Structure 1
């Protein structure tokens, strides 16, 4: 028996193996502790990324009625209850945040904030179908008086462009103006800035889109031949913003491209198995949360995850994209107004 060996109580030998197993066990335990710490740090980091606005408190009760909420459902006895009622979410794409990344992508500083993209995302009860309604930013509306975070309120403005609401009163005024225009209660608010959109596309490995015509727009620095393209974040953002190189140069042509991108992103997310690729999942989550502003009902990672889980069965084929019916404004050939009764009928269907 060597000096490294000992007898156990049964007379057998125990030597280096138990000692080695102890080392392995300690190493695994340490790795688990470090893994848990890293996971905890990642969760806190993603959670802290999110900016929120208390829209419900700011607007009070003078708003359209909420839709009837269906009881939560569960996929199995072990699953956590998931909400299944219908939802209406105002989604804005903006250049609202200052910073080098946004400036390089064409964004302005926060004092010159604009909402370049506005969509009302309606998720049906059961959360297996959705309708995305784009609102042209050049739509002339009656902009209601909106409370300001500094105190006081904006004045009512008649014949104002829809996207001016964000400029004068931020997310609160954007929501109030959208509700005034549509008569639909916005259950949630989501805003993502230029750099966040570009980072999201890059984190997903790019998106595949097909354009029906050549795009030649020096202002957005986008030049594409008609056909299929794989776009990285910077060019995908340029596609979402271009308007001068397509059609008649109006916002309606740009909206069609934005709707194409929405479908492309959904398809890419479905094809990219994020749950089996933790590193990519983290990059996607970091890209989204770092550039995200929400209402207080979605201002935590757990709330966003619950929303995501509740619509996990929603595929690109089950998402319908439409544009609010509009006609040229009598007062200005470069602006539009809601076409009635078609626009009203559309919003009524989403209540």
Structure 2
């Protein structure tokens, strides 16, 4: 990636504040986490990338008159392939009004492919290394465009990364189980998108990335954004604790911009932990959104031009939105959501038993968030049940081609009960195959290959001629027809038993997710929240 960017985010609830005496990481930042524990990453630049990428999207909505330099701005944009990996996610069906949700993946990498990025990111010995996607956020815009949700995944979260092919070099990388930030180096942003799709089951429409230099451009273009601290803060090196962002503010509210905004977003020592740094980033983001909404850019041609110029020079985007007009349309959709209907969260995680410095999605809590996104249920609790008629959807999905007699339908049953947090349940394929045989599907048989991982049970079929057969199998087991998917990865009807069906031979009835029913450890922050100030860890007060 020639432009990647926003660094940080890889924090988690429960991280212990790092005190003087901690070890610095490769960039001179103190390593967060438990005493003696090495948390890879912790680079402050991630913070700025995290904010600036979303900022660029917002600006394109706010500064729609960027048509002033239409061709020039189009030339600024760098484009890439939407997906470069093996993904099975499918678009969410339309609601009763015919509307569909929109999902955008924002990626920030630690690329040091230019002098500017090396100067901003440090770690000169890493120049030329494949970039890592150290900040990854999914923006979900509801089908009715009345609410939005943002979910971040910490960079050190271990997940299944699918087979990906780098669109530039043509090199194919095999599937691997590794921390999610490595996906960017295994096929670019399109591989990170495919990784997210397989993890969440959510179809992602677009991706965007931004680099260190782009972050600085965006911070300068926006101007002053109000932040607040409860005590005087100076994030500086202390004995035994090198690094620090250099942020120095007096207690109370201050407008920061440019380099000072970068310092705010990089600061960790003075807050006491990575999880608190994440909170500071969100406070900045919320304030920035309100600032942009209050600015009268439509009547200020010079300001409008500066914002549009910075945005198009700072972003790399997936090719299907690779024009100013398409980005403008996208930005206008995002702009319609009021701040009080924007909910920012972090994926609930648990410690990885294989490596205490890594994380795993927190089982039921993580799946609840993914289900809310898949079913387009609002995070803020102000929306009701998704305005869709599931029965009607199932009727529309039903095949017009009749199924073969049960005894003539070949069914391969695959065990995919392994999840990021839990190992596979042995014997599941055999147990469900036997249950199918008992129901008259005498040609059902278990797949003897290694267990795979799927969060949700799905019935796959290769072509239209087998759609009716696949749906007949689903009905026999009371699996929703929405879970019957066409796929080129199978040669016949294949029942993939997911992590949502770890026991029993009757498919468990899935309670629909409720609006606002977020896990407690999602650390949700409302976009309209004001008046919050950061507490400063005592050694960094002055």
Q: Give 1:18's aligned residue.
A: none
The 8 Å contact of residues 192 and 288 in structure 1, kept in 2 or not, is answered as no
Give the deviation of 1:338 after TM superposition. Answer: 0.6
Q: Give 1:137's aligned residue.
A: 155
> Which secondary structure state, in structure 1, belongs to the residue aligned with residue 172 of structure 2?
coil
Partner residue of 1:276 out of 289, 299, 302: 299
In structure 2, the CA distance between the partners of 1:177 and 1:202, relative to structure 1 (3 Å rule), is: same
Structure 2: distance between partners of 1:109 and 1:49: 24
Give the deviation of 1:204 after TM superposition. Answer: 1.6
Give the deviation of 1:86 after TM superposition. Answer: 1.4
Richer in strand (by share)? 1
Equivalent residues in 2 for 1:175-254, closer than 5 Å:
175-211=193-229, 214=233, 216=235, 218=237, 219-224=243-248, 227-248=252-273, 250=274, 252-254=275-277
Superposed CA RMSD: 2.6
> Which secondary structure state, in structure 2, belongs to the residue aligned with residue 349 of structure 1?
helix
Structure 1: distance between partners of 2:157 and 2:71: 40
In structure 2, the CA distance between the partners of 1:41 and 1:98, relative to structure 1 (3 Å rule), is: farther
Q: Give 1:122's aligned residue.
A: 140
The 8 Å contact of residues 71 and 85 in structure 1, kept in 2 or not, is answered as no
Name the stretch that deviates more: 340-349 or 149-158: 149-158
What number of residue pairs does the alignment pair up? Answer: 298
Structure 2: distance between partners of 1:47 and 1:110: 27
Q: Give 2:359's aligned residue.
A: 336
Q: Does 2:74 match 1:47?
A: yes
> Which secondary structure state, in structure 1, belongs to the residue aligned with residue 188 of structure 2?
helix
Structure 2: distance between partners of 1:142 and 1:280: 44
Structure 2: distance between partners of 1:100 and 1:346: 40
Structure 2: distance between partners of 1:259 and 1:321: 8
> Which secondary structure state, in structure 1, belongs to the residue aligned with residue 139 of structure 2?
strand
Q: Give 2:189's aligned residue.
A: 171
Kindly provide the CA deviation profile for residues 16-38 of structure 1, in whole angstroms up to 9, marking residues without a partner as x. xxxxxxxxxxxxxxxxxxxxxxx
Give the deviation of 1:333 after TM superposition. Answer: 2.1
The 8 Å contact of residues 91 and 190 in structure 1, kept in 2 or not, is answered as yes
Q: Give 1:88's aligned residue.
A: 103
Kindly provide the CA deviation profile for residues 212-262 of structure 1, in whole angstroms up to 9, marking residues without a partner as x. 6756255352334564232112232333344444333x4x33332332232
TM-score computed with the length of structure 2 as normaliser = 0.51
The 8 Å contact of residues 85 and 195 in structure 2, kept in 1 or not, is answered as no
Q: Give 1:347's aligned residue.
A: 370
The 8 Å contact of residues 93 and 118 in structure 1, kept in 2 or not, is answered as yes
Structure 1 residues without counterparts, runs of 5 or longer? 1-38, 74-83
Structure 1: distance between partners of 2:153 and 2:284: 16
Richer in helix (by share)? 1
Structure 2: distance between partners of 1:228 and 1:95: 31
Partner residue of 2:117 out of 65, 82, 102: 102
In structure 2, the CA distance between the partners of 1:170 and 1:92, relative to structure 1 (3 Å rule), is: same
